[in-house]
Amino acid sequence: MATQKRFIAGAICPRCAEMDRIRSWEQNGIRYRECVSCDFFEQLPIEEETPPELETRISQSREEQTSQSDDLQTVRILDPGQRH
What single string gives the DSSP state of each residue in 14-72? TTT--BT-EEEEEETTEEEEEESSSS-EEEEEPP-SPPPPPP-TTTS-HHHHHHHHTT-
Q: Over 70: is that where the pLDDT of 6 sits?
A: yes
Q: Over 60: is that where the pLDDT of 18 sits?
A: yes
For residue 12, the SS3 value is strand
pLDDT given at position 51: 61
Separation CA 7–CA 32 (nearest Å): 12
Looking at residue 7, what DSSP letter applies?
E
Q: What is the pLDDT of residues 33-67, one digit of tens each?
A: 999 999 999 998 887 666 666 677 676 666 665 65
pTM exceeds cut of 0.75: no
